[in-house]
Amino acid sequence: MTTGRLIVIGGDAAGMSAASKVRREQPQREIVVFERSPHTSYSACGMPYFIAGLIDSADKLVARSPEKFRDKFNIDAWVQHEVLTIDPSTQRLLVRNLINGSETLEAYDQLLIATGAQAIFPPLPGNEADGIFSLSTLASGIKVYEFMDKELPRSAVVVGGGYIGLEMAEALVRQGLQVSLIEKGEQVMGTLDPDMGMLVSEALREIGVTLYLNESLTDYETSNNKVTGVVTDQRTLPADLVIVGLGTRPNTGLAKEAGLLLGEKGSIRVNPRQQSSVPNIWAAGDCAESFHLISRKPFHVALGTVANKQGNVAGINLSGGYATFPGVVGTAVSKICKYEVARTGLTERELTALGLQYTTATTKTKTRAGYYPGAGWIMVKLLAEQGTGRLLGGQIVGLEGAAKRIDVLATALTAGMTVQQIVDLDLSYAPPFSPVWDPVQTAARQLVG
Amino acid sequence: MTTGRLIVIGGDAAGMSAASKVRREQPQREIVVFERSPHTSYSACGMPYFIAGLIDSADKLVARSPEKFRDKFNIDAWVQHEVLTIDPSTQRLLVRNLINGSETLEAYDQLLIATGAQAIFPPLPGNEADGIFSLSTLASGIKVYEFMDKELPRSAVVVGGGYIGLEMAEALVRQGLQVSLIEKGEQVMGTLDPDMGMLVSEALREIGVTLYLNESLTDYETSNNKVTGVVTDQRTLPADLVIVGLGTRPNTGLAKEAGLLLGEKGSIRVNPRQQSSVPNIWAAGDCAESFHLISRKPFHVALGTVANKQGNVAGINLSGGYATFPGVVGTAVSKICKYEVARTGLTERELTALGLQYTTATTKTKTRAGYYPGAGWIMVKLLAEQGTGRLLGGQIVGLEGAAKRIDVLATALTAGMTVQQIVDLDLSYAPPFSPVWDPVQTAARQLVG
C-alpha cells in the first residue's frame, strides 16, 4: 500500500487530508486527485455564514485551491473531473473531464474513495424548478448566493429543521427574507431530545422564523419553471426560494457498482484503518462508515471532524504508517443566532432503541458567575446509565459560552466516566467564565443526588 | 458524626457548602456557624470586578446572607464572631463577639474548620500605612473600593503578578489609575511556563500597565501614615495605592494551637473524607490540604472550586453519608482584559522538580474557523510524558473563547489520556466555535508527530 500511484476520488476534507498526509510522508509518491466540483478543500459548514453575508467571499471558505495543491504540495489535483466507474479487477478508473467532455482511463495502485455525501431530495416532480436548492458542495452554496443576488427573493421556505436547515433559516432572516420552516418532527433539531429541541424552536420564533412543526413537504408550486410555493400536508406556503435541508446520504453509487460492501445508511464499510472490502480500495469521510463508541455499533455521520480524522488515518496507512479511526461519540454543535446548541452521546430515543435504561437531569444555570456582566442562561441535560451512573449523553442549549462545554462531556464519555466523576472533575472557574460549579457539573450533581 | 451539635468555623464557600449539605440531609440537626468577617458565602473571586466597576454593588457578590441562612435554612450563622481557641479535650470553643467584645464557650459534637486563607504580607514596617491593601475577604475588597472612592488615588503599584495581582491591575486601569506592577519572577503568572507567561506580560503592557519584572518589594515610603511609594530592589515607584498580591497562606493558627497535624504550606492535613488528625474535627476549603492527582502528592491550593467540593464532601460525611474528595489536577483560569489565560496539570518547572521527563508542543491557531467573524488567536501548550505520551499539563493563552478549552485537558488529565487519545476525541466543531481540529487537538497532533 505504500508505493505506486495513489488516486483519490474527492477533493474535500477527507480526500485532501489523506493526500496531504501521504505527501508529507512520501515526498516522491505519485498522488492524483479527481474532484467533480470546481473546488478543493472547502468548508461546507461555512456556507450558511457566506449566504448570511458574514463572510464577504466564497473564496474565504476554500482552505487550499487545486493550484495550491499542485504548485505547493505536488499533488495532481483535478477539479471538474468526475470518476464514472471503478474497475477493481484491472485497477482502473474511467474519468470524465467535465469541461471538455473527454474521458480517460486512469490506473491506480491504491485508491481512496472520498466522495462525500449528497443532499437528500424527496422525489417530487417540481424538484428541478428554479429557486429550489440544497447545500452540499461549495458550488451549491454559491448558486444560492447568486440566485439571491439576482432574483431578490422575499419569502423563503426551509424544509427540514436539522443543523443546515436552522443555520440557513437564520442566514435568510439576516438577509431580510420572510422565512418559514417546515419540520416533520414535533421539534426542530431532531438530534436533541424534544424538550431541548423545544428551546431551539423558541429561539427560531424569536428571530422571526415561522415554524410549522409536525408538517411534511408534499409538493412544490411552480410557474414558468420557477418555484412559487411549497405544499405541505396541511397548507401551501408562498416561496420565492426553497432550501431543502433534509439531511444527506453517503455518495456511494460508484463504490456500490464496483462491488464494495456497504454498511450504515449505504456508507462504505471500512475496517478501522479505513480499508474497504475490496483490495487496494480505501474510503474516508462522509461516504464511509464510522463507529459509535457509546452504542458500540457501526454509525454514519457526515461531519468535517470525522472526515478530517478518517482522511488523516487513511493517509497514515497509505504511506506505510499504522493508524486506526477511533470512532465517534456523536458530538455536534451549532449556533442559531444568539443561541448555542450542542449534543454528544445518545439521546433518549436512541437509548430506548438500544434497550438501555437511563436517568436524566436537566438544569438551568448561568454561563458565567451570576453577577458578572454577560452571564446568560445555559440548559444542560445529562443522561446516565441506570445503576452504574455512567454518562451516556449530554445536550446543551444556551447563550454565549454555552456550547463548547459539550467537549467536556464528549471527553468524559470517551473515558467512560460516571456522573460522580464529572462532579469530581477539576474544571476551571473564574467569574468571567463560569459559576463555581460549571454548568455541566451542576447537572451531574443533580443526577448524583 | 451524624448527631449532636455541629459547629462550623468560617462562613464562606467551604463552611457554608458543608452546613447547607448537612441541613438538607438532617433538617433537625443543630448547626452553628461563626464567621469573623461581616459576610457569609461571598465570591472572593468577584472582588476585582467589583473594584473595576463592572459590578455595581458588593452585595451582588454575596450569594447568601447570614439572615438568609438563619431564616430560610435554619442555620445559626453568626458573623463578626471570632473563634479564639479550640479545646479538643473538652470539645469547646472560646468565641468572641467582635461587636460587643463579649466571649462565650461553645460546645461542639462535631467541628468543621473552614477558616480559609489569608493574604501574605511581607514583614515590612510600613505595612500598616493607609493605602496598602490585600484582597482576601469581601471586607478587604470593600475597603479598597471605599479608599478609592474617598481618596481618588491616581497611581497604584500592584505587588505580585499572580491571578489576583493581574486582575487587580486590570481593575485599576479600568478605573483610570496609572498602574505599575512588580514581579520578582521573569514573567507574570508564575503558574504558567515563562514562554506562556510572556504572552500575559505583553497583554498587560498593551493595556497600559508598566511592568517591573525580576524585581522585589523591599519597603514602602509613607507620609503621615499614608503610603506614597513602593521601594523595590531597583527603584522607588510613587504610589497612592498599593495592592499586595503575593498569594495566600492557609489560615490555620487556631488549628495548629489545637494540635491538629498540618501539611503542605501549613494547611490542615485531612484524610479524603476531610477528617483532621483530631477526633471530631474536620477541615475543608482554603485552610485544608488537597491532593494533586498528577504529581500524586499532597497539595495546597486556595480556590473556590476546591472549597465548594471539599465543603460538600465534609457535609455529606458529617450527615451520615460517605464521600471522598477526589483531588485536583491544578486547573485555574483568569481573564486579563481581552486575554484569557488558563492552565491545568503541571508546568515544566513542576515536572522537572518531580524528576519527570516530558515533551512539549505549542501551537498558535484560531478560536473559531479562520474565516468566521471574531476568530482570534489561541496559543496552546501541551506537556506529555516522554515515552508514554500521557498528558501531564496544558496551558492556554488567547482571545475570547480560548480559556474554557482547558476543561477538556483537565478532563483528559483526570482520565489519564495520552496525546493520541486527545487527537482522537470527538470534539465539537462548527465555524462559530472552532476550527475543524480544535486548538487543543492541533497541539496534541504536533506531539503525536
Pairing of strands A236-238, A226-232: antiparallel
Give Cβ neighbours of residue B164 (< 8 Å, ≥ 6 apart): B48, B135, B243, B245
Residues A384 and A432 in one domain: yes
Residues B342 and B307 in one domain: no
Residues A93 and A44 in one domain: yes
Which of these three, A257, A291, A318, is where a domain ends?
A318
Q: Is B212 helix (H, G, I), strand (E, B) or coil?
A: strand
Nearest residue in B to A407, CA atom: B427
Residues B126 and B240 in one domain: yes
Interface contact A431-B13, CB threshold 8 A: no
Average pLDDT of span A51-74: 93
Q: How far apart are CA B11 and CA A343, in angstroms?
A: 38
Please check whether residue A408 lies inside any domain of the structure: yes
Residues B382 and B282 in one domain: no
Considering only CB atoms, which chain B residues are within 8 Å of A407?
Answer: 405, 407-408, 425, 427-428, 438
Is B337 annotated as catalytic?
Answer: no
Number of separate domains in chain A:
3
pLDDT at B1: 57
* Range in A132-136, A238-242, A328-332, B147-151 the model is least confident about: A132-136
Interface contact B372-A344, CB threshold 8 A: no
Cβ contact A252:A267 at 8 Å: yes
Residues B302 and B314 in one domain: yes
Please check whether residue B154 lies inside any domain of the structure: yes
Please check whether residue A325 lies inside any domain of the structure: no
Please check whether residue B285 lies inside any domain of the structure: yes
Which of these three, A194, A223, A246, is where a domain ends?
A246
Residues B234 and B267 in one domain: no
Q: How far apart are CA B268 and CA B258, in angstroms?
A: 11
Q: Where are the alpha helices (DSSP H) in A100-242?
A: 138-151, 163-174, 194-206
pLDDT at A3 over 90: no
Using CB atoms within 10 A of its CB, is residue B411 exposed (0-12), middle (13-18) or buried (19+)?
buried
Please check whether residue B324 lies inside any domain of the structure: no
Going by C-alpha positions, the residue among B252, B266, B260, B248 that lies closest to residue B114 is B252
pLDDT at B60 over 80: yes
Which of these three, A202, A227, A246, is where a domain ends?
A246
pLDDT at A1: 56
CB atoms within 10 A of CB A387: 9
Residues A86 and A170 in one domain: no
Residue A145 has φ and ψ, to the nearest 5°, of: -60, -45
Interface contact A430-B61, CB threshold 8 A: no
pLDDT 10s digits, A254-292:
999 999 999 999 999 999 999 999 999 999 999 999 999
Using CB atoms within 10 A of its CB, is residue B357 exposed (0-12), middle (13-18) or buried (19+)?
exposed
Cell of B344: 491545568
Torsion sign across C-alpha atoms B252, B257, B262, B265: positive
Torsion sign across C-alpha atoms B240, B241, B246, B250: positive
**What is the full DSSP assignment across B298-326?**
EE----HHHHHHHHHHHHHHHTT------
pLDDT 10s digits, B40-59:
999 989 999 999 999 999 99
CA–CA–CA angle B259, B263, B264 (5° rounding): 150
Using CB atoms within 10 A of its CB, is residue A207 exposed (0-12), middle (13-18) or buried (19+)?
middle
pLDDT at A2: 72
Considering only CB atoms, which chain B residues are within 8 Å of A432?
Answer: 49, 335
**Strand segments (E) across A247-331:** 248-250, 281-283, 290-292, 297-299
Distances (CA, A) of A11 to A18, A37, B208, B419: 10, 9, 48, 28
pLDDT at B125: 85
Considering only CB atoms, which chain A residues are within 8 Å of B163?
Answer: 430
Cβ contact B233:B215 at 8 Å: yes
Cβ contact B9:B111 at 8 Å: yes
Please check whether residue B1 lies inside any domain of the structure: no
CB atoms within 10 A of CB B92: 17
The better pLDDT of the pair B125, B154 is held by: B154
Residues A50 and A72 in one domain: yes
Interface contact A411-B425, CB threshold 8 A: yes
Nearest residue in A to B62, CA atom: A371
Residues A112 and A128 in one domain: no
pLDDT at A251: 97
Considering only CB atoms, which chain B residues are within 8 Å of A417?
Answer: 411, 415
Give Cβ neighbours of residue B57 (< 8 Å, ≥ 6 apart): B50
> Which residues of A are known to be catalytic?
45
Residues A91 and A142 in one domain: no
Chain centroid to CA B279: how far? 29
CB atoms within 10 A of CB A34: 24
Q: Would you place residue A136 in the very low, low, confident or very high pLDDT band (cuts 50, 70, 90)?
A: confident
User: Average pLDDT of chain B?
Assistant: 96
CATH number, domain of A215, equals 3.50.50.60
What H or E segment, with its residue span, contains residue A344? strand A339-345
Residue B55 has φ and ψ, to the nearest 5°, of: -125, 130
Which residues constitute the domain of residue A241?
A: 121-246
Q: Would you place residue B136 in the very low, low, confident or very high pLDDT band (cuts 50, 70, 90)?
A: confident
Q: How far apart are CA A182 and CA A233, in angstroms?
A: 10
Q: Would you place residue B2 in the very low, low, confident or very high pLDDT band (cuts 50, 70, 90)?
A: confident
Please check whether residue B14 lies inside any domain of the structure: yes
- Side chain identity, residue A177: L
Share of chain B above pLDDT 90, in %: 96
Q: Is A118 helix (H, G, I), strand (E, B) or coil?
A: strand
Please check whether residue B323 lies inside any domain of the structure: no
Going by C-alpha positions, the residue among B317, B254, B329 that lies closest to residue B287 is B254
Cell of A275: 480499508
pLDDT 10s digits, B310-366:
999 999 999 999 999 999 999 999 999 889 999 999 999 999 999 999 999 999 999
**What is the full DSSP assignment across B141-167?**
HHHHHHHHHHH---EEEEE--SHHHHH
Residues B190 and B96 in one domain: no
